[in-house]
């Protein structure tokens, strides 16, 4: 049995954890299996993986903010609006997995910047449809890629099986957290 997939030891070695070589992993060698030191090493390896993910996401959002002058969440929203002109604020909130009030505030900022046009429906003034303006389309073309965000793109590229396994394992981590923030799941990462 190996700790991760055969490709994992190469990555974990690059982030400073002593793991079996590819040849050892293929033979079923496990890094210091079973003792407290190996558990600590695996814990550190996972923490380093989280750090890599967080740093890459931060770098992308910083790049977006510096070059485009908008947040990563705003860019992601613009990307979704471009793919579905006329989407409602409620529909966009569902697509982005964010709270409707968060998306309403986000699109109001994009409207004030001239990137998005918000139009109320005549039959129901509560419903707001969204579309990119010409400036918004230009911004989306020139902004750093991927417009949906690096983490979203990476997760979209995973197989359903791998995504489900990651979801289940992260759910366990969230359950074990001492401090919980129930609203965190409905706020953009770029604005956390």
Domains and their CATH numbers in the chain? 1-68 (no CATH), 70-186 (1.10.10.10)
The predicted pLDDT at position 7 comes to 46
Tell me the torsion sign for CA atoms 156, 103, 98, 95. Answer: negative
Query: Can you say how many angstroms the Cα of residue 183 is from the centroid of all Cα atoms in its chain?
Result: 16
Closest CA to 9 of 35, 30, 34, 32: 30
The predicted pLDDT at position 23 comes to 65
State the pTM of this model: 0.70
CA separation (Å) from 186 to 8, 38, 94? Answer: 31, 36, 10
Tell me which H or E stretch contains 175. Answer: helix 160-176
Residue pair 120/163 in contact (Cβ under 8 Å)? The answer is no
Residue pair 189/72 in contact (Cβ under 8 Å)? The answer is yes
In the predicted structure, residue 112 carries a pLDDT above the cut 90? yes
Residue pair 51/91 in contact (Cβ under 8 Å)? The answer is no
Report residue 104's pLDDT band, with 50, 70 and 90 as the boundaries: very high
């Amino acid at each position: 049995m190996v700790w991760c997939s055969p490709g994992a030891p190469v990555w974990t070695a690059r982030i400073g954890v002593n793991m079996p070589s590819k040849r050892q992993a293929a033979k079923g060698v496990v890094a210091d299996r079973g003792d407290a030191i190996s558990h600590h090493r695996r814990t550190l390896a996972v923490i380093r993986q989280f750090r890599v993910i967080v740093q890459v996401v931060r770098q992308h959002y910083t790049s977006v903010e510096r070059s485009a002058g908008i947040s990563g969440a705003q860019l992601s929203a613009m990307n979704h609006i471009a793919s579905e002109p006329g989407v409602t604020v409620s529909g966009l909130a569902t697509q982005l997995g964010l709270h409707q009030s968060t998306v309403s505030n986000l699109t109001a900022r994009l409207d004030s910047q001239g990137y998005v046009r918000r139009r109320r429906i005549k039959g129901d003034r509560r419903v707001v449809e969204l579309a990119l303006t010409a400036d918004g389309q230009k911004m989306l073309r020139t902004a750093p890629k991927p417009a949906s965000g690096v983490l979203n793109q990476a997760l979209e590229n995973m197989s359903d099986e791998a995504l489900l396994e990651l979801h289940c394992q992260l759910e366990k981590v969230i359950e074990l957290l001492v401090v919980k923030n129930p609203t965190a799941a409905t706020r953009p990462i770029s604005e956390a």
